[in-house]
């Protein structure tokens, strides 16, 4: 707030302040900045679209020299580019898929990298990306996520689960782990952090005059993948 209104407050007189914000979250401003700050920024917004399949293909073609000649079968790079473009358009993750495909082929004693390995590599890359998101997270952050995962695996509510339902399951997880529980408010904050990391998605709902408004949460990752990562994450 002070930075965006520094000129009006007389804090500067011989220079101008420019602020550059970079985020891959479209709604970052709405969620992180209050109205007074947004009104004083006078910002210009530039949106950079994700890479498409052709662009990703060109990027990865330039890196095919990481493999020996004739190791990559025809169509491998274009398949990896298509998978990456369809899901996220991220060049780094697309290159990771190609790298994992090579590692999988090597581990299986194959002399070439085929499209079959690309499909397996995409799943491995997604699991590793998710594992990196959870690396260094607190035990209770994982317990809250585990609670939502259990509900997702055992239930059939495609619209997500209420915070209170997740908290009830979270208490059970804590008992199993021999840990003291945090307050409902703190667990709600942990769930917000998961949503910020795009691990989960939150949506507000109205239950009418009888129930008021409430929040539902649902996993953006495959529940089986989440369970596997949580199981292999050090407590």
Contacts of 94 (CB under 8 A, 6+ apart): 51, 56, 59, 60, 80, 81, 83, 84, 85
SS3 state of residue 208: helix
39 lies in the same domain as 79: no
Domain boundary among 107, 134, 161: 134
Show Cβ contacts of residue 11 under 8 Å, excluding neighbours closer than 6 positions.
2
User: Three-state DSSP class for 150?
Assistant: helix
For residues 10 and 67, membership in a common domain is answered with no
Q: Are residues 98 and 150 in the same domain?
A: no
Domain range holding 189? 139-232
Instruction: Give, in order, the Cα–Cα distances in Å from 153 to each of 9, 91, 160, 171, 198.
Output: 55, 32, 12, 17, 19
Judgement on whether residues 208 and 169 belong to the same structural domain of the protein: yes
State the pLDDT at residue 176: 94
What average pLDDT score do residues 116-122 get?
91
Paired with 203 in beta bridges are 216
Residues 21-58 have pLDDT tens digits of: 777 666 666 666 777 777 777 778 888 888 999 999 99
One domain for residues 167 and 185: yes
Q: Do 16 and 76 share a domain, yes or no?
A: no
Q: What is the mean pLDDT of residues 94-118?
A: 93
DSSP-derived secondary structure for 8-60:
TTTS-SS---------S-TTHHHHHS-HHHHHHH-------PPP-HHHHHHHH
Dihedrals φ, ψ of 217, to 5°? -125, 140
C-alpha span between 53 and 77 (Å, rounded): 10
CATH code of 168's domain: 1.10.10.10
**Largest Cα–Cα distance of the chain, in whole Å?**
69
pLDDT exceeding 70 applies to what percent of the chain? Answer: 88
Taking the C-alpha atoms of residue 155 and residue 153, their distance in angstroms, rounded to an integer, is 6
Mean pLDDT of the chain: 86
Identify whether the C-beta of residue 192 lies closer than 8 Å to the C-beta of residue 94: no
Number of structural domains (the chain) is 3
Among 74, 105, 134, where does a domain finish? 134
Q: Which residues of 87-119 are buried (b: 16+ CB within 10 A; e: fewer)?
A: ebbbbebbbbbbbbbbebbeeeeeeebbeebbe
Report, as an integer, the average pLDDT of 224-228: 88
Instruction: Judge if 224 and 143 occupy the same domain.
Output: yes
Going by C-alpha positions, the residue among 147, 144, 167, 163 that lies closest to residue 155 is 147
Regarding whether 182 and 211 lie in a shared domain, the answer is: yes
176 and 224 within one domain: yes
One domain for residues 42 and 75: no
28 and 42 both lie in a single domain: yes
Q: Choose one of 134, 157, 178: the last residue of a domain.
A: 134
pTM for the model stands at: 0.64
Q: Are 148 and 174 within one domain?
A: yes
Q: Give the pLDDT confidence score for residue 39 in this predicted structure.
A: 72
Q: How confident is the model over 6-21, as a mean pLDDT?
A: 75
What CATH number does the domain containing 85 carry? 1.10.8.60
Three-point CA angle 192, 198, 199, nearest 5° = 80
């Amino acid at each position: 707030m002070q930075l965006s209104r520094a000129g009006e407050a007389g804090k500067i007189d011989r220079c101008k302040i420019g602020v550059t914000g970079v985020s891959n979250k479209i709604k970052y401003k709405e969620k992180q900045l209050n109205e007074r700050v947004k009104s004083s920024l006078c910002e210009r917004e530039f949106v950079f679209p994700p890479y498409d399949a052709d662009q990703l293909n060109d990027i990865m073609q330039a890196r095919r020299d990481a493999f020996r000649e004739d190791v990559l079968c025809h169509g491998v790079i274009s398949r990896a580019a298509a998978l990456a473009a369809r899901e996220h358009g991220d060049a780094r993750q697309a290159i990771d898929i190609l790298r994992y495909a090579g590692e999988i082929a090597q581990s299986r004693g194959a002399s070439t990298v085929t499209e079959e390995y690309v499909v397996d590599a995409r799943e491995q890359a997604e699991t590793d990306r998710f594992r990196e998101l959870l690396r260094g997270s607190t035990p209770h952050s994982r317990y809250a996520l585990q609670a939502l995962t259990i509900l997702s695996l055992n239930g059939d509510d495609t619209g997500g689960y209420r915070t209170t339902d997740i908290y009830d399951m979270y208490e059970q997880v804590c008992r199993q782990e021999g840990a003291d529980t945090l307050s409902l408010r703190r667990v709600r904050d942990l769930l917000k952090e998961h949503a910020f990391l795009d691990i989960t998605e939150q949506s507000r709902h109205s239950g009418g005059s009888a129930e008021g408004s409430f929040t539902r949460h649902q996993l953006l990752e495959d529940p089986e993948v989440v369970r596997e990562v949580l199981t292999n994450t050090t407590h």
